[in-house]
Amino acid sequence: MSINNPDLGGKLLLEQLPITPGVIVSCGLDIKVASGHQVLDILTLQDSNKALTDVVAVVLYKPGASLNPLALFTRVLQALAADGVLLIVDTFATHFTTLGASRFNLLSDFLALATRFNFDLNINKTLSVNEGQKQTEVLLKFTKGPPPKWKLQYLNKQHLDKMLSLFELSFNTQMSKPLWQWKYASEQASEVCVWEQETLIAHYGGMPRHILFFGEKHMAVQIGDVMVNPSHRGALRRTGPFFMMAATFMERYTGFGKPFVISFGFPNDRAMKVAAHLNLYDSLGHMEQLSWLPIYKRPKLLTTLRVIDQNSIVNFEHAINILWQHMADDLKKAMIGVRDYNYIIDRYVNHPENSYQILIVKSRFSRKIHSLIVIQITGEHCHIIDVIAPIKKLSLLIQYTQRFAQTNRCTRIICQISNAFSRYFETTDSHREALNIQIASDIWSKGPDVSILRNKFWLMSGDMDFR
């Protein structure tokens, strides 16, 4: 065999091509083959209508675009024959130290994922090193090992029914298809799953969220719908389903050089202990609950409360965005999910199942809006789901909520807020208690040190995907 215009990497790769006749899938190399070999373009590997098997080699030679390692190994595992080889010459990052997504994969992450797919690493040869850019060009040769017991894969839409069945089995409740579509509608959303033969046994979801990270705009990812088939929950080791999908997700998506600056989620104490034992999560704090009794108070002279319906909320777009900017200015030394007009529409107005009431406190005379409150009434309880307001306006917001709850014959007002910020909501008549809801962030993928993140994240009920 030969290749046109080979460099050192190409020559070394050529030497590793199998002699045994068969199909070779190639990207980036113009390979001239001897009789008995057939070379196919890499696109045939991605064609679901032409599933390849018994391929003797998959060759990736400086593909020129960032590889998605999970998608790659999923396809290659299916396509390669027993003892088939995966050959790669490409540039990888050696380590990341800054925020923002890199176009290069981290070499250590790539090799770790190969191990989870039972690929044996035969050659890891450095071809060049760029210390300044923290990059290296390498020749990698993997040999396909025995089929893994558990297979990692992204969730495909055709598998949705199986995911919803797993959800019901895991949580003893159902998730509707419209709710799933709403939660994972973003192109940046991702769901990593684990399969045992044809059975979906585990799921790990990630929903993107625009945040202010100490005053700077970044993307975070909210972890949700984490579930493992009850019959497999005993496998709490680093080769078990939960670890496999959680580590794979984090290596791909979170931390320095990745699309999301941090991940966050709301596990209970038991789930948090399991993840901490596996060195996957650390705690950023916990959720607390404040409650008040409804109180009838006379209307304020200078301000008033108004309920905004869905048909008129568009008239408040500019005012809501200004209100959010005031709140953001108050929390420049913290992390907080963006709460602008578009977020209010996507999160509350367009929710496929839950109903919320959006209230504004405004001036009677200047018509200036002082705060926005998202309320959900369940039974006799009035829940403060979210707020947009300058910190100094929160006490006024609570007073109006107490009056609103009295008018609607509620017996209790409830507000859940991350522990570091609950003091801003406390009043002389409030009651505060800790909840069994941890605020978790991953520590598996290198990123901002958790010590600077702890007790810095403003989170409320509305930040939870299940509220």
Domain presence at residue 254:
yes
pLDDT tier at 13 (50, 70, 90 boundaries)?
confident
Residue 418, in any domain of the structure: yes
Residue 264 lies in a domain: yes
Q: Do residues 333 and 447 share a domain?
A: yes
Please report, in angstroms and rounded to a whole number, the separation of the first and last CA atoms in the chain.
Answer: 61
**pLDDT-wise least confident of 144-158, 295-309, 445-459:** 295-309
Are 65 and 180 members of one domain?
Answer: no
Per-residue pLDDT tens digits for 155-174: 998 999 999 999 999 999 99
What integer pLDDT is reported at residue 382 of this predicted model?
97
CATH number at residue 42: 3.40.50.150
**Mind listing the pLDDT tens digit for each residue in 418-430?**
999 999 999 999 9
Number of domains in the chain: 3
- Last residue in a domain, options 279, 308, 328: 279
Instruction: Provide the residue type at 33 as one letter.
Output: V
| Residue 285 covered by a domain | no
Give the per-residue pLDDT at 195.
96
Average pLDDT of the segment spanning 7-17: 82
Q: Based on the fold, state whether residues 38 and 162 are members of the same structural domain.
A: no
Among 88-102, 297-311, 358-372, the minimum mean pLDDT is found in 297-311
Predicted confidence at residue 279, as pLDDT, reads 94
- Residue 284 falls within a domain, yes or no? no
Domain final position from 144, 163, 183: 144
Mean pLDDT of 358-366: 90
pLDDT attached to residue 3:
42
Residue 78 shares a structural domain with residue 22: yes
Residues in CB range of 367: below 8 A, 6 or more apart: none
Measured between alpha carbons, how far is 183 from 106 in angstroms, rounded to an integer?
A: 29
Domain end, chosen from 144, 165, 194, is at 144
pLDDT at 51: 74
Same domain, 218 and 325: no
The CATH number of whichever domain residue 319 belongs to comes to: 3.40.630.30
What per-residue confidence (pLDDT) applies to 2? 41
Measure CA 421 to chain center: 24
Q: Are residues 120 and 33 in the same domain?
A: yes
H or E, element range at 404: helix 394-407
C-alpha 56/C-alpha 23 separation (Å) is 6
**For residues 107 and 267, which has the higher predicted lDDT (pLDDT)?**
107
Nearest to 79 by CA among 49, 56, 110: 56
DSSP-based three-state secondary structure for 258: coil
Give yes or no for residue 48 having a pLDDT over 70. Answer: no
Mean predicted confidence (pLDDT) in 377-388: 96
Domain co-membership, 304 together with 243: no
Look at residue 7 and tell me if it is in a domain: yes
Same domain, 135 and 159: no
Output the pLDDT for position 4: 44
- Output the pLDDT for position 433: 96
117 and 171 housed in the same domain: no
Residues 297-323 have pLDDT tens digits of 776 778 888 999 988 999 999 999 999
Q: Residues 132, 157: one domain?
A: no
Range of the structural domain that residue 347 is part of = 290-463
Residues 6+ apart with CB under 8 A from 381: 410, 411, 412, 413, 414
pLDDT tens for 335-351 read: 999 999 999 999 999 99
* Cα–Cα distances in angstroms (integers) from residue 27 to residues 46, 91, 444, in the given order: 12, 15, 32
Residue 434 and residue 318 share a domain: yes
Predicted pLDDT at 87: 92
* Same domain assignment for residues 120 and 57: yes
Residue 247 DSSP symbol: H
DSSP string across 114-157? HHHTTEEEEEEEEEEEETTTTEEEEEEEEEE-SPPSSEEEEPPG
Give the pLDDT confidence of 188-237 residue by residue, as tens digits. Answer: 999 999 999 999 999 999 999 999 999 999 999 999 999 999 888 766 67
